[in-house]
Amino acid sequence: MHWLSPYTQSFSSLQVLLSMGFKYLLFTGSFYLFFYVWKHKKYWSAKIQQRYPENKHIFREVKYSFFTILIFGAVIMFVVWASKAGLTRIYEPIDKYGYAYYFFSIVLMIVIHDTYFYWTHRLMHWKPLFKWVHKTHHLSINPTPFAAYSFHPIEAVVEIGIIPLIAFTIPYHKSALTIFSLYSLLLNVAGHLGYELFRKGFASHWLFKWHNTSTHHNMHHRLVKCNYGLYFNFWDRIMRTNHATYEQSFDKVADIRDQEKARLAELKKLPNPKLTFAEPDQA
């Protein structure tokens, strides 16, 4: 008997798609509702581009994200099949190689993905590929969290390619791959958040500067030919692809946010404070 009956395969595929869809909506929806609906006035000063995207742009991001989830689901189902067939390097039990390796494998996945992303991203900025593949993602000039999965189908295949690359090359436990996937989604959503939450000086600090910020990726969407990295700022610094004003731009956004925060704090000290928030423009 084959390891999976047609009914089991269909149920497993549905489980994968529902799980991916739930995690996508949980992360993107939570961040969007908090920063763009519920607390949009309070945190407006932390908005990197001082305007909101039109609803039609948000709907486009959600539409492309739907197709991305289908593609991601198909590739993950292939990896599940390959794992059950003994073709990947998945292992059990969790402590087979020790817990030190278990945690190291998660870090290794992140480092491999950061390198994979930077160089595939640079490749997709090659003019012929950009026009037909990567331009779809760059339609989000002023991205929202929903832009995290807003890809052309070919780019979606490239993006999810990191999963089989990991599965077929390094020993991994299923839970380690799950933790890596959640971390990747969280950082992807944060990069497209459109708000800067790190404190002033983060982008130029001797240690923290090696980690990317929302401002870093937001500048990439707006200016295109710069800031290609994902998690870390290592490759952009080594290859000198950071935008020349990245650190200054980061501090400028942080300054505006901190000044507004200080203004509201002073207003709250008044006997009858009347808090006023700037109304965002839509573009």
Q: What is the pLDDT of residues 226-253, one digit of tens each?
A: 999 999 999 999 999 999 999 999 999 9
Looking at the predicted structure, is the pLDDT value of residue 146 above 80?
yes
Q: At what angle do helices 6-24 and 55-84 cross, to 10 degrees?
A: 140
pLDDT in tens, 19-46: 888 999 999 999 999 999 999 989 999 9
The pair of structure tokens assigned to 176 is 């380690």
Cα–Cα dist 42/39, whole Å: 5
What Å distances lie between residue 47 and 31, 139, 190, 249, CA to CA? Answer: 13, 19, 13, 12
Looking at the predicted structure, is the pLDDT value of residue 3 above 60?
no
pLDDT in tens, 103-133: 999 999 999 999 999 999 999 999 999 999 9
Looking at the predicted structure, is the pLDDT value of residue 280 above 70?
no
The pair of structure tokens assigned to 273 is 């404070």
Q: Which residues of 20-54 are buried (b: 16+ CB within 10 A; e: fewer)?
A: bbebbeebbeebbeebbeeebeebbbbbbbeebbe
Cα–Cα dist 186/165, whole Å: 20
Across 171-195, average pLDDT: 97
What Å distances lie between residue 263 and 27, 196, 270, CA to CA? Answer: 31, 18, 11
